[in-house]
Structure 1
Amino acid sequence: MSHFNDFNNAQVAKLPKHLKQFIVDQNYEKYTPIDQAVWRYVMRQNYSYLKNVAYYPYIKGLQRAGLSIEHIPDLQTMNDNLGKIGWGAVTVDGFIPPAAFMEYQAYRVLVIAADIRQINHIEYTPAPDIIHESAGHAPIIADTDYNNYLSYFGSIGAKAMFSAKDFELYEAIRKLSILKEAVDANDSEIAKSEKELRYINENMGEPSEMALLGRLHWWTVEYGLIGTLENPKIYGAGLLSSIGESASCMQRHVEKIWYNMDTINYAYDITKPQPQLFVTETFQNLIDVLETFANTMAFRVGGAESVMKAIDCKNVATAVYSSGLQVSGIFTDIGLNADDEVTFIKTTGVSALAFAGKQLENHGKDYHKDGFSSPVGRLKSSLKPLENSSDEEMELAGLYLGNKTNLTFESGITVAGKVNNILKRAEKIILITFEECTVTEGNGNVLFKPEWGIYDMAVGDKIVSVFNGAADKDAFEEITLVSLEKTQQIVYDDKTLKLHQFYKTVREIRESGDHLAKLPDIFDQLRTNHRQDWLCALEILELVYHKKIYHQLERDVLIYLELKAAREADHRKLINDGLHVIKNPVSQLVVE
């Protein structure tokens, strides 16, 4: 990616190739004057309401993250500001895969959707947008305990095992969110897509590690409350960026429950307001709960159950031998002894070997293109793991270059062949390569034949860890440049372009304090030709109300908006909330 822009931000510069592929340009000039007005409306609403219910650093945090109430943030300003607290930000196109999202967090980079919600979805949008990501997540990043939680969550989430169903669900959610924000989507397409999503959702089966972590993320990062059950404050970005739900969530009918390990049993529905919310006393408690859950995950537990999760996942995963050797590929088979200990693992299709997250030379997926299989466990009657053998002990076992030897494992698997190479890393033997090799199971079943070529035998007593994705992602993953096409390019007709011009002029009048005499004419045009619009009239009212001039215009606009609110159910709350903020202004720079 030759034109990669790291915004002079240390965290963004550190991103590996496989994460950079999701980044798109923000294209700041594509935001229309209406988009800017939508940002300002939501931020004024948030500010007016949240100053009482948000966790204390919200308003200060906005400024520390380089956000203003007046303008959609530009990425360079955000990075200049976030850089001071060890974070960065990039823009992406809509939903990205959950594992990638987690990894960005681990790298301390906020992922921001470049798009902004349309005015007809101003209160809430199911699609990620710049209001949610920047006005929701960014302001709290300045809190050290919180940002430690976020990056730690990312590092654990990136290792979480998926089920094949999770991938289906991700695709269905992405498809629906793009459809819902598309200008020309028809209702039957949306209905069909919603039905598909519901079906997948209802047939997920046993939740995977990623699904359970997804719940912890949802009830903390997105919908979390902090403080006491009686008087909690909001820190979840989903609430902070939804002017509808941030108000309704504080009401009695939404149950408040202490956040602990039990929260993992509560599934969530992305399309409905939350029936209950979870309160943590401190951000440290979030880290403690996460730690307790991480101790049950395959990347810390290893063993047969973890390899089974990898087989279930049907996607690339990595199994780690106790020697440190990492095997990446799609796992398809496992051998078990009577005590359910792993005796054998097998991948199918392109696979690779790595150590400490770096691919071993000549063991990439070109070389292991047809899969990899190897025994796991001890040699029969040996007193210690093979990986810990000294050079003398290796000689005694007949394991030296050029020697024909015959190894028998406790599991009954035998490996007979000529030693071609012995690979050591960090004082441990991790891989022995054989020529003219035959590998046989105890029951006589042949696992490898000499005519298949060179046999690489992994060395290790146990499988100590299994995690999602490849060990060396940059070496393993196809870096398919995600298309730079945006989810949707909107072409505006002349009428809409005229409306954009009115918004632009009103903003210029507000910012310069000049040319107020243009307002009556703009209002006239709105009333005649743009009857569906309500926000521009609201901005005109705000100007004349505070200037205390043009009393007739003020009365006309107010009556126009009050009638509109009475007649148009869709706009009622939006107009009334807008009027409330005009009549009860909050000084923009009050820092609580």
Structure 2
Amino acid sequence: RPNADPKEVDEATKLVEHRQKNLGEPSEMALLSRLHWWTVEYGLIGTLENPKIYGAGLLSSIGESVSCLEPAVKKIPYSIDAQTHAFDITTKQPQLFVCRDFQHLRGVLEEFANMMAFKVGGVEGINKAIECQNVATCEYSSGLQVGGVFTEVITDENNSPSYLRTSGKTALAFRDKELERHGIDYHKDGFCSPVGKWKQTTTSPELLTDDQLHALGIVEGRKAKIEFVSGVVVSGKVDKILRRDGKLLLITFSNCTAKFGDRTLFRPDWGMYDMAVGDQISSVFNGAADKDAYNQVALVPKERTIKVPLDAKRKRLENLYQQVRKIRESKTGYERLGEIWETQQAEHPEDWLLSMEIFEIVDTTSQQPELKARVEKFLNQKKAKTKDLATLIG
């Protein structure tokens, strides 16, 4: 504010800096943004001794594309550990990561993907859903998808999820489509259910056939009791059994009680109890499975990427670049380089990069020494006029 006490400003600044450095455990999105920063934006490729630039952030800045290659900037072999390095967009980066090639880059990203909640599921994934405090989806191994704000997970002695709970609007889906009568209006107060295998059988519960359920005493219209290996016990009258694609998804009970040791997890006076079926949580991901049914609207930016139209002059310059590239790759047509350079000088005197391309070709192939001398003179003049170009042209 105007006329603020310098001491207050100093204290406020220190407080902001402290909070920026102590933001707690970074989310998956934050870790992914770091990998993006150290690759797509500020990535180097090749060897530690002679890296090349491919990051868009570096390529877009002449000054930083020069300074980043200096010894003062530490070069680190790219690995999954890059996710532990935060970044500051307001200053030059003290270190950069170098990947050997793009296959190496892809391998690290796949390694990270295999650690994400949507791949690993389990208690780790559920805890991430709880930490985010936003709508997330836990998918059972049966394919049943439970979407809502997760608030609790009970684990067994092996730290595997035994029971999960949401609060507020929750929806159940299968293959990203909401199940009929299991939307946010029906489950407006949340959802809770066990996870895991049953004591009565070694078969994964979602794979049990109707005959196997009958043998276990689980029949619509009759009372049943299901004991989970984790210790959770569910008992009540079976009202409905729901399957999809041959897999058991839900068993709906009336007059139901669910307990875990001395703790009551569900009471008969709470209403109908929809028990999810699946011996594990195979995936956890952000948002609802059926976003339209959940009324979770994806925000689409009004602004679109601005595409600068190419004028005739720019198109002619790009055509010159294409011709030089064709000569370089085919290793033929060197005699045309002089004509191309003269055209560039006449129509695009401000451009220097094409001259660099031509100089490299005639220098490495020992072609047209007179042309080489003229191009070199032009580049030296450019270097003398512009400090940043002095390093880039070399």
TM-score, normalised via structure 1 length: 0.48
3-state SS in 1 of match to 2:89: coil
Q: Given the superposition, is the C-alpha separation of residues 306 and 418 from structure 1 closer, same or farther in structure 2, using an over 3 Å criterion?
A: same
Residue number among 258, 261, 282 corresponding to 2:101 in the alignment: 282
Alignment of 1:395-434 (within 5 A): 395-434=214-253
Counterpart in the other structure of 2:279: 461
Q: Given the superposition, is the C-alpha separation of residues 402 and 194 from structure 1 closer, same or farther in structure 2, using an over 3 Å criterion?
A: farther
Counterpart in the other structure of 2:53: 234
Q: Which residue identity lines up with residue 72 of structure 2 in the other structure? A: H
Deviation at 1:349, TM superposition (A): 1.1
Deviations 1:176-209 (A, max 9, x none): xxxxxxxxxxxx9x99998776344211223333
Q: Given the superposition, is the C-alpha separation of residues 427 and 480 from structure 1 closer, same or farther in structure 2, using an over 3 Å criterion?
A: closer
Structure 2 CA distance for aligned equivalents of residues 284 and 193 of structure 1? 46
Q: Which residue identity lines up with residue 343 of structure 1 in the other structure? A: S
Deviation at 1:248, TM superposition (A): 1.8
Structure 2 CA distance for aligned equivalents of residues 266 and 483 of structure 1? 30
Residue number among 2, 7, 17 corresponding to 1:198 in the alignment: 17
Structure 2 CA distance for aligned equivalents of residues 477 and 579 of structure 1? 60
- Name whichever structure is richer in strand by fraction: 2
Q: Which residue identity lines up with residue 139 of structure 2 in the other structure? A: V
- List gaps (5 residues or longer) in structure 2: 1-5, 305-310, 315-345, 351-381
Structure 1 CA distance for aligned equivalents of residues 181 and 249 of structure 2? 15
* The 10-residue stretch of structure 1 (469-478 or 190-199) with the greater mean CA deviation from structure 2: 190-199
Residue number among 118, 123, 132 corresponding to 1:304 in the alignment: 123
Q: Which residue identity lines up with residue 399 of structure 1 in the other structure? A: I
Deviation at 1:458, TM superposition (A): 0.3
Residue number among 386, 407, 421 corresponding to 2:205 in the alignment: 386
Q: Which residue identity lines up with residue 183 of structure 2 in the other structure? A: G
Alignment of 1:220-369 (within 5 A): 220-369=39-188
Q: Which residue identity lines up with residue 99 of structure 2 in the other structure? A: T
Q: Which residue identity lines up with residue 235 of structure 2 in the other structure? A: A
Deviation at 1:348, TM superposition (A): 0.8
Deviations 1:525-570 (A, max 9, x none): xxxxxxxxxxxxxxxxxx9x979xxxxxxxxxxxxxxxxxxxxxxx
Deviation at 1:374, TM superposition (A): 0.1
Structure 1 CA distance for aligned equivalents of residues 81 and 250 of structure 2? 42
**1:476 matches 2:294:** yes
Q: Given the superposition, is the C-alpha separation of residues 477 and 240 from structure 1 closer, same or farther in structure 2, using an over 3 Å criterion?
A: farther
Deviation at 1:409, TM superposition (A): 1.9
Counterpart in the other structure of 1:580: 386
3-state SS in 2 of match to 1:474: coil
Q: Given the superposition, is the C-alpha separation of residues 194 and 469 from structure 1 closer, same or farther in structure 2, using an over 3 Å criterion?
A: farther
Residue number among 441, 446, 452 corresponding to 2:264 in the alignment: 446
Structure 2 CA distance for aligned equivalents of residues 353 and 197 of structure 1? 41
Deviation at 1:222, TM superposition (A): 0.9
Q: Given the superposition, is the C-alpha separation of residues 481 and 260 from structure 1 closer, same or farther in structure 2, using an over 3 Å criterion?
A: closer
Larger Rg: 2
Instruction: Quote the RMSD (CA, aligned, Å).
Output: 3.5
Q: Given the superposition, is the C-alpha separation of residues 269 and 485 from structure 1 closer, same or farther in structure 2, using an over 3 Å criterion?
A: closer
Alignment of 1:171-190 (within 5 A): none
3-state SS in 1 of match to 2:65: helix
Q: Which residue identity lines up with residue 461 of structure 1 in the other structure? A: D
Structure 1 CA distance for aligned equivalents of residues 384 and 270 of structure 2? 74
Q: Given the superposition, is the C-alpha separation of residues 546 and 320 from structure 1 closer, same or farther in structure 2, using an over 3 Å criterion?
A: closer
Q: Which residue identity lines up with residue 220 of structure 1 in the other structure? A: T
Contact 1:408 1:414 survives alignment (8 Å): yes
Structure 1 CA distance for aligned equivalents of residues 166 and 11 of structure 2? 37
Q: Which residue identity lines up with residue 471 of structure 1 in the other structure? A: A
Q: Given the superposition, is the C-alpha separation of residues 283 and 193 from structure 1 closer, same or farther in structure 2, using an over 3 Å criterion?
A: farther
3-state SS in 2 of match to 1:244: helix
Structure 1 CA distance for aligned equivalents of residues 349 and 57 of structure 2? 32
Structure 1 CA distance for aligned equivalents of residues 186 and 60 of structure 2? 49
Structure 1 moving runs of 4+ over 4 Å: 190-197, 480-486, 576-579
Q: Given the superposition, is the C-alpha separation of residues 364 and 193 from structure 1 closer, same or farther in structure 2, using an over 3 Å criterion?
A: farther
Deviation at 1:241, TM superposition (A): 2.2
Contact 1:318 1:471 survives alignment (8 Å): yes
Alignment of 1:121-132 (within 5 A): none
Deviations 1:90-115 (A, max 9, x none): xxxxxxxxxxxxxxxxxxxxxxxxxx
Q: Which residue identity lines up with residue 323 of structure 1 in the other structure? A: S
- List gaps (5 residues or longer) in structure 1: 1-187, 487-507, 512-542, 548-575, 585-592
Counterpart in the other structure of 1:50: none
Deviation at 1:244, TM superposition (A): 3.2
Q: Which residue identity lines up with residue 386 of structure 2 in the other structure? A: H
Q: Given the superposition, is the C-alpha separation of residues 482 and 299 from structure 1 closer, same or farther in structure 2, using an over 3 Å criterion?
A: closer
Counterpart in the other structure of 2:193: 374
Deviations 1:275-298 (A, max 9, x none): 111111211111101112222222
Q: Which residue identity lines up with residue 290 of structure 2 in the other structure? A: D
Structure 2 CA distance for aligned equivalents of residues 428 and 278 of structure 1? 47
Contact 2:196 2:230 survives alignment (8 Å): yes
Contact 2:148 2:168 survives alignment (8 Å): yes
Deviations 1:214-260 (A, max 9, x none): 22111101100122223322211211223432222122211222212
Counterpart in the other structure of 2:343: none
Deviation at 1:371, TM superposition (A): 0.9
Contact 1:411 1:442 survives alignment (8 Å): no
Deviation at 1:463, TM superposition (A): 1.6
* The 10-residue stretch of structure 1 (376-385 or 386-395) with the greater mean CA deviation from structure 2: 376-385
Contact 1:344 1:373 survives alignment (8 Å): yes
Structure 2 CA distance for aligned equivalents of residues 251 and 217 of structure 1? 22
Identity %: 54
Q: Which residue identity lines up with residue 246 of structure 2 in the other structure? A: E
Contact 2:118 2:285 survives alignment (8 Å): yes
Deviation at 1:305, TM superposition (A): 2.5
3-state SS in 2 of match to 1:476: coil
- Name whichever structure is richer in helix by fraction: 1
**1:207 matches 2:26:** yes
Structure 2 CA distance for aligned equivalents of residues 191 and 469 of structure 1? 40
Q: Given the superposition, is the C-alpha separation of residues 309 and 357 from structure 1 closer, same or farther in structure 2, using an over 3 Å criterion?
A: same
Deviation at 1:363, TM superposition (A): 1.7
3-state SS in 1 of match to 2:229: coil
Structure 2 CA distance for aligned equivalents of residues 217 and 192 of structure 1? 33
